[in-house]
Amino acid sequence: MNRLEPLRSAIEEVLDKVDGVVALRNVSGHVAPHLFKDREELDELAVSPKYPLPGTLHLIQTAHPEAQLAIVCRGCEERGLIELAKRNQVNLDNVTIIGLACTAEEAEECRCAKPYPSVLVDSHVGERTEPVADRLAEGLRQKDVAERLEFWRKQFDRCIKCYGCRNACPQCFCPECTLEEGLWVDKGEVPPAYPTFHLIRAMHTAGKCVGCRECELACPANIPLTTLYAVIREEVKDLFGYEPGVDLEDRPPLVLTMEVES
Amino acid sequence: MPEPRIVAYACTYCSYPGADLAGISRIKYSPNVNIIRVLCSGRVSAELILRTLREGADGVLVLGCHYGDCHFINGNHRTAKRVAILERVLEYAGIEPERLRLEWVSASEGERFAQVVDEFTETIRQLPPMKQVLA
């Protein structure tokens, strides 16, 4: 099913009510995020490939806190927005969400647990497809500790420390990154030392990672990062009953203290 | 088999005086432990633990105040959550989660401190040296 035309009409509907719409634009084959302000620009509207638009929204809102914006949102981007809103990185009061469902192929490629938005929006462009189980994560569970170490050492040995995973991550918004400090991860060491670089990042995604797979798509070495983050997400759910991006009201466990019994 | 090297991060308000009491009371405990005093167990970040392991410590012991005793009211709550997750992260990344242990030791528990350290040393002794694991 072609999603471009329905998406275009959905954007046209809200375009007059907001200052701009954050979506993807295709300029002679190069797809990049763009703030659409005029109808004419919509000729260049693009649906795919996937790009982490919540991060773009965060940038625009930081510069223009009062702007009324709309954003095209896939299932993972909606989850990302929810987590960013909880951490005061985006203000959802000023944002109109235009939902977009992923195709079955996209869901399969991302091993996505929920390839459509449903929390912040009631409807979306495109048809809902079935969630996909993460077989790689299941495979990791079945390995024993020694096999896991061998597996990850082999994967992380390819790392060129380009910080692509961090830069693409919609949840990585810190102005200063602990991975660059030099205090925990030595500078100028490639591949970066195991386990510091990769596990510090993995720890920082705990309770935040929404499984959008942007890190993995960005990685030039094809390290299956989301496999590790997926099992961490399951462990966070198991330990604290918290799932990132599911509910606007749930508070993330790692920024909270335990409730005092009275 | 070389002797295991263990780093214990002890909070300055409960666990460090606890270790001190163990010394004053002449309680014998494993000499494998290197105690580092931190202002609160909540200060022991995942970064710190991971770097400690990376530098070749075979085990990391995080010692803090019992619930309700934290000088900073809830610093140890944060540690408890962080360590619980980090243990599982380590497990999936191929590092034995037994290498990391969180215990609550108060200033009056010198005996308990010695016991915790001895037990932990025995656990670590069963595991291969970290230097060999990360070689």
What residues have CB less than 8 Å from A124, skipping those under 6 apart? A98, A99, A100, A101, A116, A117, A118
A153-199 confidence digits (pLDDT tens): 999 999 999 999 999 999 999 989 999 988 999 998 889 988 899 99
Could you tell me if residue B91 is inside a domain? Answer: yes
Neighbours of A57 (CB within 10 A): 29
Closest by Cβ to A199, choosing from B81, B89, B96: B89
Give me the pLDDT at residue B110, please.
95
Q: Provide the shortest C-alpha distance from residue A207 to chain B (in Å).
A: 10
Positions in chain A short of pLDDT 50: 260-262
Give the containing element (helix H, strand E) for A36: strand A30-36
B15-47 confidence digits (pLDDT tens): 999 999 999 999 999 999 999 999 999 999 999
The pairing of strands A30-36 and A20-27 is antiparallel
Could you tell me if residue B69 is inside a domain? Answer: yes
Instruction: With CB atoms and an 8 Å threshold, state whether A257 touches B88.
Output: no
Instruction: With CB atoms and an 8 Å threshold, state whether B91 touches A151.
Output: no
pTM recorded for the entire structure: 0.90
Q: How far apart are CA B22 and CA B108, in angstroms?
A: 9
Give me the pLDDT at residue A159, please.
95
Tell me the chain B residues in contact with residue A258 when contact means C-beta distances shorter than 8 Å: 67, 74, 77, 80-81
Give the containing element (helix H, strand E) for A43: none
Q: Please state whether the peptide bond connecting residue B97 to the residue before it is cis, i.e. omega within 30 degrees of 0.
A: no
Instruction: Nearest chain A residue to B74 by CA: give it.
Output: A257
Give me the pLDDT at residue A178, please.
92
Instruction: With CB atoms and an 8 Å threshold, state whether B92 touches A196.
Output: no
Owner of token pair 């060999």: B132
How many A-B residue pairs are in contact by the CB < 8 A criterion?
94
Chain A positions contacting chain B at CB under 8 Å are 140, 145-153, 178, 183-184, 193-196, 198-200, 202-204, 206-207, 228, 231-232, 235-236, 239-240, 253-254, 257-258
Could you tell me if residue B1 is inside a domain? Answer: no
Instruction: Nearest chain A residue to B81 by CA: give it.
Output: A254
Number of structural domains in chain B: 1
Give me the pLDDT at residue A248, please.
87
ipTM of model over 0.85: yes
Which CA distances in Å does B120 have to A151, B5, B77?
Answer: 28, 11, 22
Instruction: With CB atoms and an 8 Å threshold, state whether B94 touches A140.
Output: no
Structural domain boundaries in chain A: 4-110, 135-254
Which residues is A139 bridged to in the sheet? none
Give me the pLDDT at residue A1, please.
59
Tell me the chain B residues in contact with residue A183 when contact means C-beta distances shorter than 8 Å: 47
- How many Cα atoms sit within 13 Å of A11 on the Cβ side? 31
Give me the pLDDT at residue B41, please.
94
Q: How far apart are CA A175 and CA A23, in angstroms?
A: 24
Residue pair B77/B67 in contact (Cβ under 8 Å)? The answer is: yes
Positions in chain B short of pLDDT 50: none
Residue pair A89/A55 in contact (Cβ under 8 Å)? The answer is: no
Give me the pLDDT at residue A122, please.
85
Q: What is the CA radius of gyration of chain A?
A: 19
What residues have CB less than 8 Å from A24, skipping those under 6 apart? A31, A32, A33, A34, A45, A46, A47, A48, A51, A53, A72
Could you tell me if residue B61 is inside a domain? Answer: yes
Q: Which of A73, A6, A1 is nearest to A42 (CA)?
A: A6
Could you tell me if residue B30 is inside a domain? Answer: yes
The CATH number covering residue B126 comes to: 3.40.50
Q: Please state whether the peptide bond connecting residue A191 to the residue before it is cis, i.e. omega within 30 degrees of 0.
A: yes
- Interface contact B54, partner A, CB < 8 A: yes
Q: Which structural domain range is residue B89 located in?
A: 6-133
